[in-house]
Amino acid sequence: MARKRLARIPEKPRRGLVLVLTGDGKGKTTSCLGMAVRAVGYGMRVAMIQFIKGSLHYGELDGAKRLAPEFELTPMGKGFVGIMGDTLPFAEHVAAAGKALATARKKMLSGRYDVIILDEVNVALHLKLLELADLLSLVREKPASVHLILSGRNAHEEIVRLAHLVTEMRCVKHPYELGIEAEKGIDY
C-alpha cells in the first residue's frame, strides 16, 4: 500500500510576531519549549534566554543540547529572587537581568535567529530587575521577520498591548495542592 504524502503549506514571507505567555498557571516555559521544537522542525534557528533560571539544573538544558545547533538555550538568571533561600544581593539579580536583556537584543538583531524566547522576562520586569522602557525598546526594535516570545506571570499591560498574541495560563488544579512535589521531566 502506497503512503500518502502530506501536503506542505506553501511558503510565504514571514511576519514576525510578538507573543506573550503569562498567567499564574503552569505551562508558560513548556509552551515556549514546544514552539522552539516546532520551529526547529522547520529548520528555523531559535535562541531562548532564561531571565530567572540559571542556578539549578533543568531537563530542558539537556534537551536543548540535542536540538543544537538550531536551538540555543542560555540560562542567565541567578535563581529565585528573594525566596527559597535566596541570599544574593538584589543588585546581582538586577545585573544578571540586564546582561540577559543585552544578550537577547544582540541575538535578536544579529540576523542569525528566527525565534527569540525571553523566558520569565515578565517576572524579571515585575520584580523590578528590568526597566519597562528597556524591555519596550527591545520589543520595538524587533526585526520584521523575527518571532519574539515573552513568558512569565504578571505581564505588564504595555507589553500586552504591543503583542500580537497573549495567552494567559490559569491554574485550575495543581498536584502541589495534593501534597505532590515537582516531578522530574514534567516540572523541571
**CA-derived radius of gyration, the chain:** 17
Q: Measuring CA to CA, which residue among 150, 145, 171 is closest to residue 160?
A: 150
Which residue type does 84 have?
Answer: M
Q: Which domains does the chain carry?
A: 18-170 (3.40.50.300)
If you search the block for the grid coordinates 505581564, which residue do you land on? 155
| pTM greater than 0.85 (yes/no) | yes
CA-based nearest residue to 142, from 123, 118, 120: 118
SS3 at position 140: helix
pLDDT in tens, the chain (188 residues): 566 666 776 777 779 999 999 999 999 999 999 999 999 999 999 999 999 987 778 889 999 999 999 999 999 998 878 666 778 888 999 999 999 999 999 999 999 999 999 999 999 999 999 999 999 999 999 999 999 999 999 999 999 999 999 999 999 998 888 888 888 888 87
Q: Are 157 and 13 in contact (CB under 8 A)?
A: no
Which residues, 6+ apart, have CB-to-CB distance to 27 below 8 Å? Answer: 21, 169
What pLDDT is recorded for position 90? 85
Which cell is 49 given? Answer: 534566554
Dig out the grid coordinates for 91 from the structure: 543588585
> From CA 52, how far away is CA 124, in angstroms rounded?
7
